[in-house]
């Protein structure tokens, strides 16, 4: 029964990853269909992320009032509504209407499941969990590529919604399994520390800014990798360009899979240091002035591999680094900070690339990688606790 519940939790994170890479992989074609500039992808992404911030900020209250399983069921339903809405969109403006359920659903799933796993499972399980997020995020660009080849971009969203519906049915059928981990102490600890108190705990603020920097780089890759190849490499088909949206997610999945086997031995802090070093190596590879697309594609996979352990390791450190009393509020704040980066920085990059050129993308990513590692190292010192 333990294994069955864990399998369902992993499947939930597959569902979380499925919607995240569709916009980036489909945008080069959607942009033409809607007749809008390439930078307009950032405004849709920003709207989705802003609503995810709202959802994550309210997550401590949701967790204290409702069991995680109820939050998950309702959130997956919201994501299905958002995906179907996008699939039937006939104008650019309609995307903003369905960004509402799209974003609210993602934030609630992310915060609640991360809190649940951080308090009930090991670092290894946390990394495997986020590996399955990568599985979902790798699948959907390829769904979009198939849709562009055999139908239209709308079908990419519609087919993904059908997969989400199947996952929702499985989660509903699995609800009795959650009783085995119904640890009231874990669910109620959120009452001991709210966000206002938690924000002043030493080390919390630099960790939040580091999380912001990480997700700024990660989500810029999510949204703009396909467009980077469209703008810097010649002679590529629409389907091939769309499939490049899965590169960063394939790397994330690989990095988290490897981390799942070694995280309990290496520890969260060392894993983060190794990961960001690999990420920087990948960025340097993308910077190399080579005409073909293969080396750049490998570079984005390496970037994703390095990024892989960073997000889950920071999340998993929260109960140990700041205490279980603060874990739900810290994770909710981390999610909100992360989505601030997700909301604004891909859009900022979209505006910059419109005027300077999309070739600046590796430099943009390098800035956030260095900011991420610098602030995390500082947070370790001021928190006064070893992870």
pLDDT single digits (tens) 323-352: 666 666 777 788 778 878 877 888 889 889
Residue 107: inside a domain: yes
Concatenated DSSP letters of 268-313: HHHHHHHHHHHHHHHHHHHHS--SSSHHHHHHHHHHHHHHTTHHHH
String of DSSP letters for 19-34: TTTHHHHHHHHHHHHH
The span from the CA of 325 to the CA of 327, in Å, is 6
Contact in structure between 233 and 293 (CB atoms under 8 Å): yes
Q: In degrees to the nearest 10, what's the CA dihedral of 341, 342, 344, 350?
A: 120
Q: What is the pLDDT of residue 300?
A: 94
- Asked if residues 33 and 141 have their Cβ atoms less than 8 Å apart, the reply is no
> Highest mean pLDDT: which of 2-6, 251-255, 282-286, 346-350?
282-286
Alpha-carbon distance 306 to 177, whole Å?
34
Q: Does some domain include residue 97?
A: yes
Residue 185 pLDDT exceeds 50 = no
Q: 299 lies in which domain range?
A: 7-174+187-383
Our count of domains for the chain comes to 1
Element housing 244 (H / E): none
Tens digits of residue pLDDT in 249-260: 789 888 988 988
Task: Examine residue 182 and state whether it is found in any structural domain, yes or no.
Answer: no
Q: Is residue 180 part of a domain?
A: no
Instruction: Give a yes or no: residue 2 inside a domain.
Output: no
φ/ψ of 343, rounded to 5, equals: -75, -50
Q: Is residue 1 part of a domain?
A: no
Are 236 and 293 contacting, i.e. CB atoms less than 8 angstroms apart?
yes
What CATH number corresponds to the domain at position 165?
Answer: 1.20.1250.20
Structure confidence at residue 195 (pLDDT): 62
Q: Which of 148, 33, 138 is nearest to 95 (CA)?
A: 33
Instruction: Determine, yes or no, domain membership for 28.
Output: yes
- Using the predicted structure, report yes or no on whether residue 244 has a pLDDT greater than 60: yes
Residue-averaged pLDDT of the chain: 83
Poorest-confidence range of 207-211, 241-245, 322-326?
Answer: 322-326
Give which of 135, 134, 141 is closest to 310, Cα–Cα. 134
Higher pLDDT, 22 or 80: 80
Question: Is 146 inside a domain boundary?
Answer: yes
pLDDT of residue 212: 92
Q: How many CB atoms lie within 10 A of CB 180?
A: 11
Contact indicator for 107, 52 with CB cutoff of 8 Å = yes
- What are the tokens at 188? 């109620």
C-beta separation of 308 from 250 below 8 A? no
pLDDT (average), residues 279-298? 91
Residue 133 CA to residue 227 CA, distance in Å, equals 22
pLDDT for 27 beyond 60:
yes
**Does residue 251 or residue 42 have the better pLDDT?**
251
Whether residue 182 has pLDDT greater than 60: no
Lowest mean pLDDT across 82-91, 165-174, 250-259, 323-332: 323-332
Over residues 262-287, mean pLDDT = 91
* Residue 237, C-beta contacts closer than 8 angstroms, at least 6 positions apart: none
């Amino acid at each position: 029964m333990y294994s069955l519940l864990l399998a369902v939790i992993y499947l939930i994170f597959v569902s979380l990853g499925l919607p995240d890479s569709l916009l980036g992989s489909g945008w080069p074609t959607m942009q033409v269909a809607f007749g809008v500039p390439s930078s307009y992808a950032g405004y849709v992404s920003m709207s989705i992320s802003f609503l995810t911030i709202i959802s994550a900020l309210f997550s401590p209250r949701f967790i204290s009032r409702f069991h995680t399983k109820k939050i998950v069921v309702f959130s997956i339903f919201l994501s299905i509504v958002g995906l179907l809405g996008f699939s039937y969109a006939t104008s650019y403006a309609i995307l903003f209407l369905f960004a509402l359920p799209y974003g609210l659903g993602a934030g609630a799933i992310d915060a609640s499941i991360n809190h649940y796993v951080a308090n009930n499972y090991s670092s290894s399980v946390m990394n495997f969990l986020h590996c399955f997020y990568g599985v979902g995020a790798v699948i959907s660009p390829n769904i979009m590529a198939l849709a562009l080849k055999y139908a239209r971009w709308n079908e990419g969203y519609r087919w993904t919604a059908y997969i989400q519906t199947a996952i929702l049915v499985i989660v509903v059928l699995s609800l009795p399994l959650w009783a085995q981990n119904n640890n009231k102490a874990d669910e109620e600890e959120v009452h001991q520390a709210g966000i206002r108190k938690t924000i002043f705990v030493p080390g919390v603020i630099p960790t939040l800014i580091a999380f912001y920097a990480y997700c700024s780089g990660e989500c810029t890759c999510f949204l703009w990798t396909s467009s980077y190849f469209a703008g810097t490499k010649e002679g590529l088909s629409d389907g091939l360009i769309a499939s490049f949206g899965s590169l960063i997610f394939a790397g994330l999945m690989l990095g988290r899979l490897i981390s799942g086997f070694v995280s309990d031995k290496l520890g969260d802090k060392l894993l983060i240091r190794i990961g960001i070093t690999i990420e920087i190596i990948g960025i340097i590879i993308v910077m190399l002035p080579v005409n073909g697309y293969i080396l750049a594609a490998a570079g984005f996979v390496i970037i994703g591999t390095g990024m892989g352990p960073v997000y889950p390791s920071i999340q998993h450190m929260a109960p140990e680094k700041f205490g279980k009393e603060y874990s739900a509020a810290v994770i909710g704040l981390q999610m909100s900070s992360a989505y601030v980066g997700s909301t604004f920085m891909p859009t900022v990059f979209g505006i910059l690339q419109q005027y300077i050129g999309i070739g600046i993308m590796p430099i943009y990513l390098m800035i956030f990688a260095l900011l991420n590692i610098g602030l995390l190292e500082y947070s370790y010192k001021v928190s006064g606790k070893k992870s």
